[in-house]
Amino acid sequence: MFGYAGRILRVNLTDDKIRIESPDENFYRRYMGGWGFIAYYLLRELESGADPLSPVNKLIVALGPITGVPIAGSGRNAVGGKSPLTGGFGASEGGGFFGAELKKAGFDCIIIEGRAEKPVYLWIHDGEAEIRDAKHIWGMYIADSQRIIREELKDNLIRTMQIGPGGENLVRYACVINDLKHAAGRTGMGAVMGSKRLKAIAVRGHGEVKVADPDKVRKLAEAMVDWASAKPRGAGGVDWGLGTGAWMTAHVLSGNLPTRNFRDGLFPNPEAISAQTIRDTILIRMDSCYACPIRCKKVVKVDEPWKVDPEYGGPEYETLAALGSNCGIDDLKAICKANELCQKYTIDTIGAGATIAFAMECYENGILTREDTGGLDLRFGNAEAMVKLVEMIGRREGIGDLLAEGTRRAAERIGGGAERYAVHVKGQEVPMHEPRLKRALGLGYAVSPTGADHVHNIHDTSFIQKSAWEKVKALGILDQVPLEDLGPNKVRLLIYCTFTAILDNCLLMCGSVPWSYDQKLEILRAVTGWNSTMWELMKLGERVLNMARVFNIREGITADDDWLPDRFFHPQTAGPLSEVAVNPDELKNARRIYYRMMCWDEETGVPSRGKLEELGIGWVAEYLPHP
């Protein structure tokens, strides 16, 4: 096959067994990679009701057909398993160079099972794999452990996917990080990796990814290089030379910048934490991922009052908002230090910032006291306390042990009304985008299979731009829908945007590279030689979304969980959205419309047998509850 290595590596850490499987071409074409592989193996092989932090859970590292092909956006891999945050479908994607190296080493996917008796790391090189002792690097920050792994294996070009102490200590929103900077941040896969006592996966490959039409791939790659050389505004919220976080003031003016746990609408000094200020003060360079000309990743250096190591990159928009405005903090250096700590400990910055903001609001309302916090003054705006708390979470020290459980579990344990300040969906903290402004985004949060997520979702405000409407005309969306609308036309747009985003998560193509739908199709055809159509690819997104839905239903997640936290049913305290809130009746009606359009039961959200058969996955129906 072109585009694939044709081999899947299965590693059982309990009995130290390693084997290689070679699925047929139909398997690859039906599930494609990334989310498709993760959903397939979780449904087929993970027993219902499994504890996400037990040895029976699986950690699945999945590539796609584009991974490792020398073209912009191809440096990504997915990581999945049963989420320790939500108890449902867990998956996240990271960039960098690890995924491309794994493909060149001869594998499309790694399925990790069981639990090692002592800490280990996995060493994969040119079609071979071995389990190696990691006791000497357990507990280390990831820059130190990567250095030792490279010294041990005598190769400075080895790529790593790792966890730090946060993953080892089972912080429920721990992430895994490629190459020190590129986080697969959401759903807690770092905790799953830590539960298996797997410190790292180290990879080195000298192979090449064979493609069906090398000339076509080269021409497409050159076209994106030409586009990038013109230094235009990018896609997915990315600006050339700035990365994400360039529009902080605009977000305040629209009400989109989360402030003090999504409570308030005015953040006094947004420019203090903007990408422009980073560029003008502490930025030392912009980095990119494998084969990508779009250098969108910040690398920062701070010397005082904290030292921030540039090896760990720099903060993007989600981090600037989560650890900044959402905690009432405008100290850029403190945010950079907290971001560095999250990287060192491998903790999701959204989960960390949202959980700290929750604790700050509990503190200001007397639900948490100084006795509870170990003397920390957790008022909004206390930058030093925020930085300290990140480290306490990573180490599970003091109140950090409680907050490492995430907002839902922490609120349940605190009690006393703390639940009303826990801003999450299905247990996963809400990202830094405002559903009181973006109504369909809010619905997308509610119905997402992973809990609240802003990537496989719609951003209503994007469709104010004519270029966005022109793009979706290719999907048959011809009439512009008002920003505030949440009727059938907007729900349809959300569904189509979700399918195309999940498609990216199966191809493993970066959404920040502005490939058109036609170009993505051209790339897939040139890489694989398949006669694919956009119809097939949209059906792929729909197929995988339905598989994730069925997995969640099997694990006890219901339509009642497809809902937003109470916070969004009330206006912000000030600013543009001070008289605007999500209408629960409107949301409930939109959810019903969504279910109908998806051919799910309009009350329970259970996919119909007919829909599953139409998607070519009738076998999935056996995991649904029987009447």
Helices 488-507 and 584-597, packing angle to 10 deg:
60
Beta carbons within 8 Å of 223's beta carbon, 6+ residues apart: none
- Pair type for strands 120-125 and 198-204: parallel
> What backbone phi and psi angles, to 5 degrees, belong to 531?
-90, 45
Nearest in space to 190 (alpha carbons), one of 180, 201, 177? 177
- Pair type for strands 8-12 and 17-21: antiparallel
For residue 57, being part of any structural domain is answered with yes
Estimate to the nearest angstrom the gap between the alpha carbon of 117 and the chain centroid: 29
Q: Tokens representing 441?
A: 């985004």
- Claim to verify: residue 356 and residue 452 sit in the same structural domain: no
- Pair type for strands 77-82 and 89-94: antiparallel
For residue 24, being part of any structural domain is answered with yes
- Claim to verify: residue 411 and residue 276 sit in the same structural domain: yes
- Claim to verify: residue 324 and residue 448 sit in the same structural domain: no
> What backbone phi and psi angles, to 5 degrees, belong to 466?
-60, -35
For residue 192, being part of any structural domain is answered with yes
For residue 222, being part of any structural domain is answered with no
Q: Using CA atoms, how far apart are residues 22 and 350, in angstroms rounded to an integer?
A: 37
11: which strand partners? 18, 112
Nearest in space to 139 (alpha carbons), one of 163, 118, 116? 163
pLDDT of residue 139: 98
- Claim to verify: residue 399 and residue 479 sit in the same structural domain: no
- Claim to verify: residue 176 and residue 44 sit in the same structural domain: yes
Residue with tokens 């250098």: 295
Below-50 pLDDT ranges, the chain = none
Q: Using CA atoms, how far apart are residues 196 and 280, in angstroms rounded to an integer?
A: 43
Nearest in space to 328 (alpha carbons), one of 382, 364, 373, 375? 382
pLDDT of residue 96: 98
Q: Tokens representing 44?
A: 């087929």
pLDDT of residue 609: 96
- Claim to verify: residue 451 and residue 415 sit in the same structural domain: no
Among 179, 204, 229, the domain-final residue is: 204
For 437, what's the count of Cα atoms within 13 Å in the CB-facing half-sphere?
Answer: 25
Q: Kindly report the CATH number assigned to the domain that includes residue 608.
A: 1.10.599.10
Nearest in space to 101 (alpha carbons), one of 218, 17, 5, 222? 5
- Claim to verify: residue 196 and residue 294 sit in the same structural domain: no
- Claim to verify: residue 413 and residue 447 sit in the same structural domain: no
pLDDT of residue 525: 98
* Cα angle 88-89-93, degrees, rounded to a multiple of 5: 140
Among 387, 422, 457, the domain-final residue is: 422
Q: What DSSP designation does 308 have?
A: B
- Boundaries of domain holding 596: 439-623
Q: Using CA atoms, how far apart are residues 296 and 246, in angstroms rounded to an integer?
A: 12
User: What SS3 state is found at 447?
Assistant: helix
For residue 62, being part of any structural domain is answered with yes
pLDDT tens digits for range 173-215: 999 999 999 999 999 999 999 999 999 999 999 999 999 999 9
For residue 3, being part of any structural domain is answered with no
- Claim to verify: residue 368 and residue 460 sit in the same structural domain: no
pLDDT tens digits for range 15-39: 999 999 999 999 999 999 999 999 9
H or E element that contains 508: none
User: What SS3 state is found at 162?
Assistant: strand
What's the sign of the alpha-carbon dihedral 587, 593, 599, 601? positive
Q: Tokens representing 444?
A: 């997308």
Beta carbons within 8 Å of 68's beta carbon, 6+ residues apart: 74, 99, 100, 101, 102, 103, 104, 209, 290
- Claim to verify: residue 65 and residue 164 sit in the same structural domain: yes
pLDDT of residue 573: 98
Instruction: With beta carbons less than 8 A apart as the criterion, state whether 430 and 354 touch.
Output: yes
For residue 532, being part of any structural domain is answered with yes
Helices 534-554 and 517-528, packing angle to 10 deg:
90
- Claim to verify: residue 460 and residue 406 sit in the same structural domain: no
Q: Using CA atoms, how far apart are residues 447 and 445, in angstroms rounded to an integer?
A: 6
Residue with tokens 């609240």: 452
Q: Kindly report the CATH number assigned to the domain that includes residue 189.
A: 3.60.9.10
Give the Å distances, CA to CA, from 518 to 124, 374, 471, 475, 616: 35, 56, 10, 11, 24
How many domains, the chain? 3
Instruction: With beta carbons less than 8 A apart as the criterion, state whether 181 and 287 touch.
Output: yes
Omega of the bond leading into 232 within 30 degrees of 0 (cis): no
- Claim to verify: residue 185 and residue 252 sit in the same structural domain: no
For residue 578, being part of any structural domain is answered with yes
Q: Using CA atoms, how far apart are residues 173 and 351, in angstroms rounded to an integer?
A: 6
Q: Kindly report the CATH number assigned to the domain that includes residue 337.
A: 1.10.569.10
No. of H helices and E strands in the chain? 23, 16
pLDDT of residue 228: 87
pLDDT of residue 625: 85
User: What SS3 state is found at 251?
Assistant: helix
Q: Tokens representing 555?
A: 């694990």
**AA letter at 306:** W
